[in-house]
Amino acid sequence: MATKLTVPISEEQVRALKVGDQVLLSGVIFTGRDTAHKYMIENFVKGSCPDSEKEFYEVLKKELAGSVIYHCGPVVRKRDDGKYEFVAAGPTTSIREEPYQADVMGHFGIRAVIGKGGMRDKTLKGCKEHGAVYLHAIGGAATLIAESCKEVVDVYKLDFGVPEAFWKIRVEDFPCVVTMDSHNQSLHEKVQRESEQKLKQLLAG
């Protein structure tokens, strides 16, 4: 049975999750890919925030606390009323954010990241330290996932390009699975280790 989580998510709720748990996520979350993460690191986490970015920084500090970043480069349509909507919203490969993710989670108080393909040791350590999880979304189901994105609330840094902008969206029963938890357990690491053992057995045979 899936666990229903509503943003903002508490650390207690996150610590109760284990690898393999199914989650239905609701609330306001943000998309963020390579450019967004690099921008946050350079301007906010490790750099001195420029005056021109302070207003947006305050938005992120408030909105990301207890929230979620979704590794996604959506396909977006602008409606006749001027509002945006997601046409497709599949996850992008998360490993590109490995150099940044733990630091971003810690700085902004993020409780979960969503993507595909898993992440590695630095992010896993960050999940344990900061009380966060990695949620795996269904690759190849971009249109289906877009149905969970009920509203585009706002968009920031659209000058980065549509896929790389910060899209603030309201999701409802967004389906995902915990594949890295806050207890140092990673399904991706387990699968890789077992696959390597199987390959050795096959080669030895």
Strand-strand pairing, 133-136 and 68-70? unpaired
Please check whether residue 30 is in contact with residue 56, taking contact to mean a CB–CB distance below 8 angstroms.
no
Residue with tokens 């207003």: 55
State how far the Cα of 10 lies from the Cα of 5, in Å rounded to an integer: 10
Q: Count other Cβ atoms within 10 Å, centred on residue 161.
A: 11
Rounded CA-CA distance 34/37 in Å is: 5
**Cβ contact 21:41 at 8 Å:** no
As a whole number of Å, the CA-based R_g of the chain is 17
Report whether 173 contacts 22 (CB < 8 A).
no
Q: Which residues are catalytic?
A: 37
Instruction: Name the pTM for this structure.
Output: 0.92
Is 74 within 8 Å of 146 (Cβ atoms)?
A: yes
The pLDDT tens digits along the chain (205 residues) read 899 999 999 999 999 999 999 999 999 999 999 999 999 999 999 989 999 999 999 999 999 999 999 999 999 999 999 999 999 999 999 999 999 999 999 999 999 999 999 999 999 999 999 999 999 998 666 677 888 999 999 999 999 999 999 999 999 999 999 999 999 999 977 555 544 565 456 567 6
- The residue with tokens 């302070």 is 54
Nearest to 120 by CA among 39, 193, 14, 200: 193
Fold for domain 3-204? Answer: fumarase (3.20.130)
Would you give the end-to-end CA distance of the chain in angstroms?
Answer: 41
pLDDT at residue 199, rounded to an integer? 45
Specify whether the CB–CB gap between 144 and 77 falls below 8 A. Answer: no
CB 21 within 8 Å of CB 3: yes
